[in-house]
Amino acid sequence: MAELTYRKAAISDLELLVRTRLLILRAIKQLDETADLSAYEPHIRCYYQRALADGSHIAYLVFDGERFVGAGGMSFYQVMPSYGNPTGNTAYIMNIYTDPAYRRQGISWHTLDLLVGDAKARGVTAVTLDATAMGRPLYEKYGFVPMDGEMELSVF
């Protein structure tokens, strides 16, 4: 197994975070390298600049020496307290990624564990995510369960 380093992302990692988000969007939508995602770049960059600065987003980056091999992120937000979430403190996990050559080594699990630990430390009482078919078994093994009744409206 590789000698891996996990570290929390900083604003100096902005371009790596943007590239990783674009990589993940390609994977989720099954787009090849020729698909033009340049319209997303300024919005992603702006999001990271704001959210890393104000603490509403954290990310972990994983390296094998100097080689980037994985990542995971989480956004924090407040909703009205409910029976299932008494504080209303909520986190949304996204961008869990492992380089294909490094998969099945526990990188995503450890990244997920770091993120969930940070959520607990902030008093978050509900953590959600959207799972791809590939990621679903990992999240289920970790303890995530499917949510019934949630719906979404795309307004663009």
Q: What is the pLDDT of residues 55-111, one digit of tens each?
A: 999 999 999 999 999 999 999 999 999 988 899 999 999 999 999 999 999 999 999
Query: Does 155 reside within a domain?
Result: no
CATH number at residue 135: 3.40.630.30
pLDDT beyond 60 at 1: no
130 lies in some domain: yes
User: What is the structure's pLDDT at 147?
Assistant: 84
Predicted model pTM: 0.91
Q: Can you tell me the distance from the alpha carbon of 95 to that of 59, in angstroms, rounded to the nearest whole number?
A: 9
Distances (CA, A) of 105 to 57, 71, 130, 148, 152: 26, 14, 22, 31, 34
Domain range for 41 is: 4-142
Residue 148 covered by a domain:
no
Quote the pLDDT of residue 155: 78
pLDDT value, residue 49: 98
Percent of the chain residues topping a pLDDT of 70: 96
- Cβ pair 114, 91 in contact under 8 A: no
Domain count, the chain: 1
For residue 73, the surrounding DSSP H or E stretch is: strand 67-78
Q: Residue 50: is it exposed, middle or buried by C-beta count within 10 angstroms (0-12/13-18/19+)?
A: exposed
Q: Is residue 156 pLDDT above 80, yes or no?
A: no
- Average pLDDT for residues 27-38, to the nearest whole number? 91
